[in-house]
A and B are shown apart, each in its own frame.
Chain A
Amino acid sequence: MGLKDRLGRLAAAAPAPVFVLAGRGTARLAPALDRLALDPRLRFVDSPRQANVLLLAGGAASRLLRPALRVHDQMSRPRGTVWWLPGEERSPAALRLARTLGLAAGDLVDPDRPDHADPAGGAEAVARAIVRRHRELVTGVRATEPAVLPDEEPAPWRGVGPFGQGGEGMMGGVPYGRPMAMRGPDLSDGLELDRLPVRLGPFYPPLPSGLVLDLDLQGDVIQAVTVGANPFDRPAWRGDGDRHGRDGDPFAAALTRPVPLAVLERARARHHLRWLARVLALLGLDALGRRVLGLSLACAPVTARVADAAEGNPADDLEPPRRAVEDLARRLRSRISPITPPWGLAGATRGVGRIARSRLAGLGPVARAAGLPDDARSDDPAYRALGFEPIVQRSEDAEGGDAWTRLLQRLDEAVQALDLALRAARAGDPTVGGPGVVGSAGRAIEGPRGRLIPGGDPPSARLLALVAELLEGLEWGDAVIALASLDLDLEEAGRGPLPGRTAGEREPRRPTRADRTHRSHRTRRKGEVA
């Protein structure tokens, strides 16, 4: 047996390095994706260079196709693809892409097929497919996937120019296929050095999935921001989940029909903990992030059908995560006992990503983290009956709200949400929402990112409008944390107006605000959020 075979066998036993591309409809796959992230057989990596398996999760939105193919081709050999393709995303275009990549039937996992379904929401089938693909690749049973894109230089440069490398003069031309950055003004110290244009997304792991950013940087300080077109362009809201009734957005569902309060609050707790896990990983505490991700899964049953959830809410399972989250919140807050980890979170997030309070109305945890008692639940009799009081961070300065207060706020709200769910279970399982929810003047549903008003813009779209201004002038590391602290969901932003009007009014309006590019010169900002 040769060295190569031995190595292959040894490598096959290692956790499969996976790079995940989140496509359309991943909100539905989220619980199972989280299970995959915790699976010891897999390891999610930060860069496609280090991955052996590319996991395409969800449908192929047209604007994601080319970026996905580029990432595919950037992977090192051996490389293979596993596509987690829900049945309703099986378009002819998707199947064409699968053929282009040379995928076999076993590389396509459909969460809706009975033999792929499992209690973990399809995670097991996907994990098995990935592990199989990985083993086949490293042991050489199956050949590596060839590059899909044409083998073309970015610009013709060979033999061009006086030196044959495409350049001319000192800075001109396209040496080796690309031009050089040019000088420009600087926001910070006024020293006019090169403004490096950096084109990021939609699959850049430090950024929210799907976010496309055009940045100009001087050093690592962001000089100008343009938010690119949102690649998610499906206007439909699926409050009730897919045709199997799975994994819908209960908050959106509550705009059209009553949803048990406990379901909403469980989903809220899960949402906030999921966010926290991501931020912890960005700050280097990925192990703690995995623990938090596990807690988030414990907050909501994976295949909870929104429709069925009314059938009682055995709340006993909530007590352990509630205690764990409360403990974490207490440890993060305590100033007198810096004896217990994690350390340094406050230092890494305090003062990062401040936004003027006046811009935050209706933005849920972000607003409350800045000291605004802005919570639609305050007006809801069902919540009032449970003794609900909005949690607000007392911030020292009036223009408050930074990544740190947002972190504390979401932790507090996760504890509160679990509390509410527990209380609701004892108080006869009240429901929230329904057709009675009317426009902005009256009641609204408090989603995990902010106020949901029937027919209004989803909170993510409003948060997205803040991005350009927020990032300008920030150092790169701060920018990533500030952006993460907003909790953007590009797919939510791309869906357009929320449901909840009368049936006739639901014309499929193209998503507007999120779809437009936001230049950093802001002209139509005023009054937009307030």
Chain B
Amino acid sequence: MSGVLWPHSIWLQAAALAGFVLGGIYAADLMERLLGRYVAGAGVRAGALLAGPFREAALLLSQQRSRTERPDAPAWALAPMLLAGLAAVAAGTVPLGPSAAVAGVDSGIVLFGAAMALVMVCVFLHGWSANSFAPLVGGYRFVAQALSFEMPLALVLIAAALPAESLSFGEIVRSQAGLWNVVRQPLGLPLYLVAALGVTFQGPLATPDAADLAGGTRAEVSGAALLAWRLARGAVLVAVAAVGAATFLGGWSGPWLPGPAWTVLKTLALLAVLVASRHLVARVRLERFVVVAWAVLIPLALLDVFLTGVFLL
């Protein structure tokens, strides 16, 4: 059955993955706009809403890319490219259906962890390279944030790997055949979502690109470079949501619908949660977040590993 729904050709698989990620970016943008309009108490026109992301993209593409006086130009150019590449790798580790992931490596959670660790490099470079005050502060903010969420992110994935006896996401999904991890490891998903907000610098953890820095690392960026940055960030968001769906919501498993459809639906559900925080939760004070991440989130993640181990004995 899955063979019909999941193409064998590597090119078709890559195209399916690209469609999945691009569609996810579009859906996330729509959800953010929709919720924003709702919270603002403004009306919605379907046409303007649906065309919005494309118009925005066209606007940015027809705008000049700005430069600063003495930027680190190669690093500035590299940041969005690498970020997008990492997002693609991270999305590639996720099995969309039962038969395969595009890059379903055996050490999937390590590859995902490595990609998310390198996100720190991208955001830091994006802030550093402009040689301007606000982006610089934004870049340094993200380093503090990343050093704090990376441990819980890795630990909850390790906890999910325990019952699967494997580091691959395919096995992690299969290990949830009886009961999803969201029930079996109740601490996992909430901790993962906090870390996911951190790695996508979204909502309360949008500290590097915050309004109090006039846009932070984006403050000096415009045109195609800004479009690239926003697309790359959206791609990370989709990848992180897809990994969450596979790790905690049973991935492709579900009744009635074919596997990939379940992956898409669950990914959309997590995307909605991540995106909703943008309009519902105020930005945190970074110092507070760092202390809370180390003093509360990491111990909770360790507890998650511990409890998982106890249940497996």
Chain A in direct contact with chain B (Cβ < 8 angstroms):
yes
Contact A282 B212 (CB under 8 A): yes
1/0 contact string of B62-80 vs chain A (CB within 8 Å):
1111100110000000000
**Cα A76 to Cα B220 with chains together (Å):** 10
Contact A341 to B214, CB < 8 A, known contacts A76-B223, A290-B42: no
For the complex formed, measure the closest distance between the CB of B166 and the CB atoms of chain A, giving whole angstroms.
37
Chain B residues whose CB sits within 8 angstroms of the CB of A309 once the complex forms: none
A 278-336 contacts with B by CB, 8 A: 280-288, 290-291, 294
For the complex formed, measure the closest distance between the CB of A436 and the CB atoms of chain B, giving whole angstroms.
42
Contact B221 A40 (CB under 8 A): no
For the complex formed, measure the closest distance between the CB of A297 and the CB atoms of chain B, giving whole angstroms.
12
For the complex formed, measure the closest distance between the CB of B97 and the CB atoms of chain A, giving whole angstroms.
34
Count of interface residues, chain B, beta-carbon cutoff 8 Å? 55
Contact B215 A294 (CB under 8 A): no
Chain A residues whose CB sits within 8 angstroms of the CB of B206 once the complex forms: 284
* B61 contacts chain A at the CB level, 8 A cutoff: yes
1/0 contact string of B50-93 vs chain A (CB within 8 Å):
01101110110111111001100000000000000000000000
Contact A283 to B283, CB < 8 A, known contacts A49-B221, A154-B69, A294-B41: yes
Give the interface segment out of A92-100, A198-206, A418-426, A463-471. Answer: A198-206
* A353 contacts chain B at the CB level, 8 A cutoff: no
* B152 contacts chain A at the CB level, 8 A cutoff: no
* A2 contacts chain B at the CB level, 8 A cutoff: no
**Cα A49 to Cα B223 with chains together (Å):** 9
Contact A47 to B63, CB < 8 A, known contacts A281-B211, A294-B40: no
Contact A287 to B40, CB < 8 A, known contacts A14-B56, A206-B214: yes
1/0 contact string of A163-205 vs chain B (CB within 8 Å):
0000000000001111000000000000000001010000011
1/0 contact string of A199-224 vs chain B (CB within 8 Å):
00000111000000000010110000
Contact A288 to B40, CB < 8 A, known contacts A7-B62, A11-B59, A477-B286: yes
Contact A46 to B211, CB < 8 A, known contacts A4-B62, A290-B40: yes
Chain A residues whose CB sits within 8 angstroms of the CB of B212 once the complex forms: 206, 282, 476-477, 480-481
* B203 contacts chain A at the CB level, 8 A cutoff: yes
1/0 contact string of A342-375 vs chain B (CB within 8 Å):
1111011000100000000000000000000000
Contact A52 to B204, CB < 8 A, known contacts A14-B56, A47-B215, A348-B282: no
Contact B279 A288 (CB under 8 A): yes
Contact B55 A46 (CB under 8 A): no
Chain B residues whose CB sits within 8 angstroms of the CB of A45 once the complex forms: 215
Contact B62 A287 (CB under 8 A): no
Chain A residues whose CB sits within 8 angstroms of the CB of B278 once the complex forms: 284
Specify which of A7, A177, A342, A477 is in contact with B69 (CB 8 Å cutoff).
A177
Contact A10 B54 (CB under 8 A): yes
Specify which of A217, A288, A347 is in contact with B39 (CB 8 Å cutoff).
A288
Specify which of B66, B133, B207, B283 is in contact with A198 (CB 8 Å cutoff).
B133
Contact A291 B282 (CB under 8 A): no
* A241 contacts chain B at the CB level, 8 A cutoff: no
* B23 contacts chain A at the CB level, 8 A cutoff: no
Contact A344 to B282, CB < 8 A, known contacts A291-B41, A477-B210: yes
Specify which of B70, B211, B280 is in contact with A206 (CB 8 Å cutoff).
B211
Contact A348 to B284, CB < 8 A, known contacts A220-B137, A294-B40: yes
Contact A220 B140 (CB under 8 A): yes
**Cα A485 to Cα B141 with chains together (Å):** 23
For the complex formed, measure the closest distance between the CB of A8 and the CB atoms of chain B, giving whole angstroms.
6
* B104 contacts chain A at the CB level, 8 A cutoff: no
Please classify how large the interface on chain A is, using the bins under 10, 10 to 19, 20 to 34, 35 or more. Answer: 35 or more
Contact B64 A77 (CB under 8 A): yes
Chain B residues whose CB sits within 8 angstroms of the CB of A286 once the complex forms: 36, 211
For the complex formed, measure the closest distance between the CB of B191 and the CB atoms of chain A, giving whole angstroms.
17
**Cα A286 to Cα B215 with chains together (Å):** 13
For the complex formed, measure the closest distance between the CB of B24 and the CB atoms of chain A, giving whole angstroms.
22
Residue of B nearest to A295 (CB): B41
Contact A46 B280 (CB under 8 A): no
Chain A residues whose CB sits within 8 angstroms of the CB of B287 once the complex forms: 475
Residue of A nearest to B219 (CB): A47
* B48 contacts chain A at the CB level, 8 A cutoff: yes
Chain A residues whose CB sits within 8 angstroms of the CB of B222 once the complex forms: 47, 49-50, 76
B 100-155 contacts with A by CB, 8 A: 133, 137, 140-141
Chain A residues whose CB sits within 8 angstroms of the CB of B61 once the complex forms: 7, 11
Chain A residues whose CB sits within 8 angstroms of the CB of B41 once the complex forms: 290-291, 294
Contact A11 B58 (CB under 8 A): yes
* A445 contacts chain B at the CB level, 8 A cutoff: no
Chain B residues whose CB sits within 8 angstroms of the CB of A236 once the complex forms: none
Contact A10 B220 (CB under 8 A): no
Contact A178 B69 (CB under 8 A): yes
Contact A291 B58 (CB under 8 A): no
* A478 contacts chain B at the CB level, 8 A cutoff: yes
1/0 contact string of A17-37 vs chain B (CB within 8 Å):
100000000000000000000
For the complex formed, measure the closest distance between the CB of B26 and the CB atoms of chain A, giving whole angstroms.
15
Contact B288 A76 (CB under 8 A): no
Contact A284 B203 (CB under 8 A): yes
Contact B42 A38 (CB under 8 A): yes
For the complex formed, measure the closest distance between the CB of A214 and the CB atoms of chain B, giving whole angstroms.
13
**Cα A345 to Cα B222 with chains together (Å):** 30
**Cα A144 to Cα B280 with chains together (Å):** 39
Chain B residues whose CB sits within 8 angstroms of the CB of A76 once the complex forms: 63-66, 222-223
* A78 contacts chain B at the CB level, 8 A cutoff: yes
* A13 contacts chain B at the CB level, 8 A cutoff: yes
* B272 contacts chain A at the CB level, 8 A cutoff: no
**Cα A516 to Cα B210 with chains together (Å):** 32
* B35 contacts chain A at the CB level, 8 A cutoff: yes
For the complex formed, measure the closest distance between the CB of B170 and the CB atoms of chain A, giving whole angstroms.
36
* B213 contacts chain A at the CB level, 8 A cutoff: yes
For the complex formed, measure the closest distance between the CB of B48 and the CB atoms of chain A, giving whole angstroms.
7
28 chain-A/chain-B pairs, Cβ below 8 angstroms: A8-B58, A8-B62, A11-B55, A13-B51, A14-B55, A14-B56, A40-B48, A47-B220, A50-B222, A52-B63, A76-B66, A78-B62, A138-B62, A176-B70, A178-B70, A204-B214, A285-B280, A285-B281, A287-B39, A288-B279, A290-B40, A290-B42, A341-B279, A344-B281, A344-B282, A344-B284, A475-B286, A477-B283
**9 A-B pairs with least C-beta separation:** A14-B55, A10-B58, A341-B280, A290-B40, A287-B39, A284-B283, A344-B282, A76-B64, A176-B70
Interface residues, chain B, CB within 8 Å of chain A?
A: 35-37, 39-42, 48, 51-52, 54-56, 58-59, 61-66, 69-70, 133, 137, 140-141, 203-204, 206-207, 210-215, 218-223, 226, 278-288
Known contacts A220-B141, A344-B281, A476-B213, then 16 further A-B pairs from the complex at CB < 8 Å, ordered by chain A residue: A11-B62, A14-B59, A46-B211, A50-B226, A52-B59, A52-B63, A76-B66, A78-B63, A206-B212, A220-B140, A285-B282, A287-B36, A287-B39, A288-B39, A290-B42, A343-B281
